[in-house]
Structure 1
């Protein structure tokens, strides 16, 4: 519970644990969602003029880093400290900014202008990322063999449109493994069925 407007010792500890754990939970999120979902290329990331990337996990990472960095820059400014922004929005940037904020968390959580909003935000972000990280999509094995290596190595993550051959040697001399959309897969499967019928 919050005081006026400070956090009690128990909740301060919870915020610190959540801030430290954000890094680990986001790595799990990225690991479990390394495929690409079906997106609208005109869709834009929240608070960004740039189009959304093919990965919602990486979009969430970038948004989290921007949120944490905005608090870091603001707090450093009122303390009169110099701040060199980390170049890029990525996993190393998340580690850097969470470490910096953890080092000064006691001061942030005792500041009347930062304590409640920052603490609440950290807990909210941790809950959101943790929930997403624990939702691992089911891998579906497609029935048709890979048209390039001819092995049964075509999976699709449930809810996603991308199908990529899991055979590491697939297309070694042709620029890489087969990658296709679900529509392309079904079109190819129909063509194989038609061709098979003609040979009978």
Structure 2
């Protein structure tokens, strides 16, 4: 039986319906279901921290003097996937702020002129969109808006994970005995990807040396 057949609303375009059969779709409210609306709101709020983290990626690859013009007159080093993604977060979020302001007949946002202004522009855009989340979820462009915000956050998380890198270690996990230990680049933590046991790198190094010597 389809529990959603009598709602009269189209199905939510989110991942909640990705694996469902056509006759049993979760309806939108009015476009996205409430769970997906919350996921979009969380992803939106996360963009400020993700943007800041991307600057760490960009600084590690920066080539002096190479610039690109971004939205609202700001400028960002265009030298790495991190810098490109940071610019995409800024450009896309500010564009959606502009779209919602136009839809609601609100005044245009202020224009930033440098990197500091870019950070303020992003924070302001996220704040504006977040405080009007219910309104944004009811607009004619709610589907595109939600998809873009979710994709921005997910894509940035993937990029940051790739930048940190992960090293697979040779000694087996002392808890589950599987060779599933990893060290994430830039951290002091060794973690088992199977049982989630973890320790510090120094402790692993001392233990692994003893283990490998005894196994030789």
Q: Is the contact made by 1:61 and 1:91 (CA closer than 8 Å) also made in structure 2?
A: no
Relative to 1, partners in 2 of residues 1:110 and 1:137: Cα closer, same or farther, differing over 3 Å? Answer: same
Shift of 1:18: 0.5
Q: Is the contact made by 2:90 and 2:122 (CA closer than 8 Å) also made in structure 1?
A: yes
Instruction: Select 2:129's aligned residue among 101, 109, 120.
Output: 101
Which residue in 2 is equivalent to 1:10? Answer: 35
Shift of 1:137: 4.5
Matches within 5 A, 1:104-119: 104-111=132-139, 113-119=140-146
CA distance in structure 2 between the aligned counterparts of 1:60 and 1:137, rounded to whole angstroms: 16
2:110 match: secondary structure: coil
Relative to 1, partners in 2 of residues 1:91 and 1:116: Cα closer, same or farther, differing over 3 Å? Answer: same
1:54 aligns with 2:79: yes
Higher relative contact order (CA 8 A, sep 6+): 1
Q: Is the contact made by 2:54 and 2:85 (CA closer than 8 Å) also made in structure 1?
A: no
Relative to 1, partners in 2 of residues 1:73 and 1:64: Cα closer, same or farther, differing over 3 Å? Answer: same
Q: Is the contact made by 1:7 and 1:109 (CA closer than 8 Å) also made in structure 2?
A: yes
Q: Is the contact made by 1:72 and 1:97 (CA closer than 8 Å) also made in structure 2?
A: yes
1:79 aligns with 2:104: yes
Q: Is the contact made by 2:70 and 2:91 (CA closer than 8 Å) also made in structure 1?
A: no
Instruction: Select 1:121's aligned residue among 124, 131, 148.
Output: 148
So what's the TM-score if we normalise by structure 1? 0.56
CA distance in structure 2 between the aligned counterparts of 1:87 and 1:32, rounded to whole angstroms: 22
Give the aligned length: 134
Q: Is the contact made by 1:37 and 1:54 (CA closer than 8 Å) also made in structure 2?
A: yes
1:107 match: secondary structure: helix
CA distance in structure 2 between the aligned counterparts of 1:45 and 1:31, rounded to whole angstroms: 19
For the aligned residue pairs, the C-alpha RMSD in angstroms reads 3.2
| Uncovered stretches (5+) of structure 1, i.e. residues with no partner | 139-200
Q: Is the contact made by 2:62 and 2:77 (CA closer than 8 Å) also made in structure 1?
A: no
Which stretch of the first structure deviates more once superposed, 76-85 or 120-129?
Answer: 76-85
